[in-house]
A = this chain, B = another copy of it.
């Protein structure tokens, strides 16, 4: 299975330009699953409710889902894209999973970071896992990483690959995702953005790049630099995530002790 990550710097509010950039990046590239950064078509640092309302779209009814579906069809692949979502009056920081036939499913970020709380509702669709044929995948968005229960839940539901669109500004997540991979014996794919945003007189946010793919044994199969705008493809074998025996006597899931855990 070929996993592609496109690490780039989306331009704020330039949805058309960002989509074109994505389409351009994948030209001539073969992959099964493309993972894009968080809020990859709108940019991150919203400064007003009106701005979010204007840029958010319905999923799957909005034009971006349609555009990504066209791309997925062209590439015979799936795409994970985090988008600002509008459902009636409600706004979410979401990730859409689209394939050649259209939307496969969506995830709404459960754990909102800092000022995201001013603009988005907390996710209300739980932590779904989808079988896309090549692998079972689950989605996390950025700050979800710090809650071990989120990755654990996806793994317990059978996810082979955790896909994480991100707009990270702190340096901890990339190393923590190695732990998430090891403790769940899954692949983790972090698609982080690069560049900086400073909007409406707010402090500048500098995004940390270093997108990566980590194998169930904790090995980093690829890690981008802090600044490069680039698409890379990594071949993985999702079945490696289905063997939860870490020694001949230790099954990572069967040996959990819920009798002793506080939730």
Q: Pick the residue among B115, B143, B249, B256 that contacts A147 (CB under 8 A).
A: B256
Complex Cα–Cα for A111 and B143 (A): 29
A47 within 8 A of B: no
Q: Pick the residue among B175, B247, B261 that contacts A178 (CB under 8 A).
A: B175
Of A17-25, A27-35, A86-94, A148-156, which stretch is located at the interface?
A: A148-156
Q: Is the CB of B262 within 8 A of A156?
A: yes
Min CB gap A218→B, angstroms: 6
A252 within 8 A of B: yes
Which B-chain residue is minimally distant from A255 (CB atoms)?
B111
Complex Cα–Cα for A123 and B261 (A): 13
Q: Is the CB of B172 within 8 A of A252?
A: no
Q: Pick the residue among B153, B172, B248, B252 that contacts A218 (CB under 8 A).
A: B172
Chain A residues 59-83 with CB under 8 Å of chain B are none
**Known A-B contacts A113-B247, A146-B183, A255-B111; A261 and B260 likewise in contact (beta carbons under 8 Å):** no
Chain A residues 166-225 with CB under 8 Å of chain B are 172, 175-176, 178-180, 182-183, 218
Residues of B contacting A126 with CB < 8 Å?
Answer: 259-260
Min CB gap A39→B, angstroms: 18
A258 within 8 A of B: yes
Which B-chain residue is minimally distant from A184 (CB atoms)?
B148
Complex Cα–Cα for A176 and B257 (A): 19
Interface residues on A, range: 35 or more
Residues of B contacting A246 with CB < 8 Å?
Answer: 146
Residues of B contacting A122 with CB < 8 Å?
Answer: 257
Q: Is the CB of A152 within 8 A of B148?
A: yes
Residues of B contacting A252 with CB < 8 Å?
Answer: 146
**Known A-B contacts A157-B262, A257-B110; A182 and B146 likewise in contact (beta carbons under 8 Å):** yes
Min CB gap A158→B, angstroms: 11
Chain A residues near B (Cβ < 8 Å)? 110-111, 113-115, 117, 122-123, 126-127, 143, 146-150, 152-153, 156-157, 172, 175-176, 178-180, 182-183, 218, 246-250, 252, 255-263
- Would you give 18 A-B contacts (Cβ < 8 Å), ordered by A? A110-B257, A111-B255, A113-B250, A114-B248, A114-B249, A123-B257, A127-B261, A146-B246, A148-B152, A149-B152, A149-B256, A150-B261, A152-B262, A153-B262, A172-B218, A179-B179, A179-B180, A258-B263
